[in-house]
Amino acid sequence: MFGEDYYCEAASGIIRIYLQLFENPSTDDSAEPDYSKMTAAERKKAKAIARKKKKATEKKETEEQEKEAATNGDKKQNQKGGKSVVLDMDPLGKELLKKDPLEEAKKYSATLARYAPKRLETWILQYDVSILRKKPLLALQALHKARSIDPESTELFTRIVDFAGKMDGFVETSDIVKAVIKEETPPLLGGQSVGDFVKAAASAIRNDAMADLPTRVAVAKALIETKTGPVTDACALIANGGISSKNATAATCHSALDALKAFGSDAASSTKQWITDVQGRFPMISNFS
C-alpha cells in the first residue's frame, strides 16, 4: 500500500502542504489589534470592526458545520442495510492545523523513504524536511540517494546548491558531523566549488539549445544566489532560446517570468522580451505579465 503510486502522490502532496504551512504560518485573524496606541475614537471604531468581523466569522463557521452535519446525516440515511458511516468530526480542518507541520511532514517523509526508496521525489522531499529540521546528515544522505536515481535532476541540482550554501551555517553540529559533511559534499559538486559547479551547469545550457526551461530557470537562479554570474548571464539562460526549449509549458513560462522579475531592474528588458515571446507562442494565455 505505502509504496503504491496513489499513496506516494498523496503523501508527497501532504508533505508539501505541511512544509508550506511551516514556512508560512497562518496569522490569527481573531487576535485583537493593539488598542493602547489608538485615540478613543480610533479604539471605538476598531473594536466595532473587530466585533463585526468576529460575528461574520462565527456565522460562516456555523453555516459550514451545519451543512457538513446535514451532508453526513444524508449519507448515513442512504446507507443500505443500516451500515454505519464515518463522520468527519473536523470538517474545517482546525484540529489538523494545531499539529506541528514539520513533525507531520517528517512522518510521511519517513514512510516514503521506507516504502518508496526508488522514487526521486521521496529523497527530494526527505531533503526538504531534513534541512528545515536542521538535520544536515539526513539531508546529505537524501541528496546522495537522489543522485543515485537521477544525477541530472533539476530539483536535485537546486538542492545541492542550497545545501552547499548552508554548509557554513551548520555551526551547532558536532565535529564528527562536520567531518562527514566536509567529506561527502564534494562528490555532489563534482569535486568543484559551488560556484564552479553552477558555472559548469550554465555552460552546459549554453551548449545545448534544447536544455529544458525548468533547468534554465534553476541554473539562472543559482547564478544569482551564489553570486557567480551577473544578472545579464542569468537572464540569457532563460530568454535566449528558452521559449523554444523542452518543457516550455504555460506553467513553466510563468515560473520563468517570476524568476526574471525577481532579478530586479537589471532584468527589465529581458522580462519584457520574455512576455512578448510567451504571448507569441501561447496567444490564448491572458494577462501574462
Domain residue spans of the chain: 1-21+92-191, 192-289
Averaged pLDDT, 158-184: 88
Strand, helix or coil for residue 54: helix
Mean pLDDT is lowest, of 11-25, 72-86, 275-289, for 72-86
Exposure string for 110-132, b = 16+ CB within 10 A, e = fewer: ebbbebbeebbbbbbbbbbbbbb
> Which residue's entry shows cell 507562442?
281
Q: Grid coordinates in use for 70?
A: 446535514
What digits encode the pLDDT tens for the residues 30-77?
556 666 667 777 777 777 777 787 777 777 767 766 676 666 555 555
Would the pTM count as exceeding 0.95? no
Residue 78: what pLDDT?
A: 55
Q: What is the DSSP string of 141-174?
A: HHHHHHHHH-TT-HHHHHHHHHHHHHGGG-TTS-
- In angstroms, the CA 167 to CA 159 distance is 12
For residues 192-218, give the mean pLDDT. Answer: 93
- C-alpha span between 250 and 88 (Å, rounded): 37
Secondary structure of 89-144 as H, E, C letters:
CCCCCHHHHCCCHHHHHHHHHHHHHHHCCCCHHHHHHHHHHHHHCCCHHHHHHHHH
Residues 59, 65, 71: CA angle, nearest 5 degrees: 135
For residue 105, pLDDT over 90 is answered with yes
Assigned CATH topology for domain 1-21+92-191: 1.25.40
- Locate 16 and state its grid cell: 508539501
- Hunting for cell 513553466 — which residue is that? 252
CA pair distance 87, 102, nearest whole angstrom = 27
Question: Concatenated DSSP letters for 262-280?
Answer: HT-GGGHHHHHHHHHHHHH
pLDDT tens digit sequence for 78-91: 555 556 666 777 77
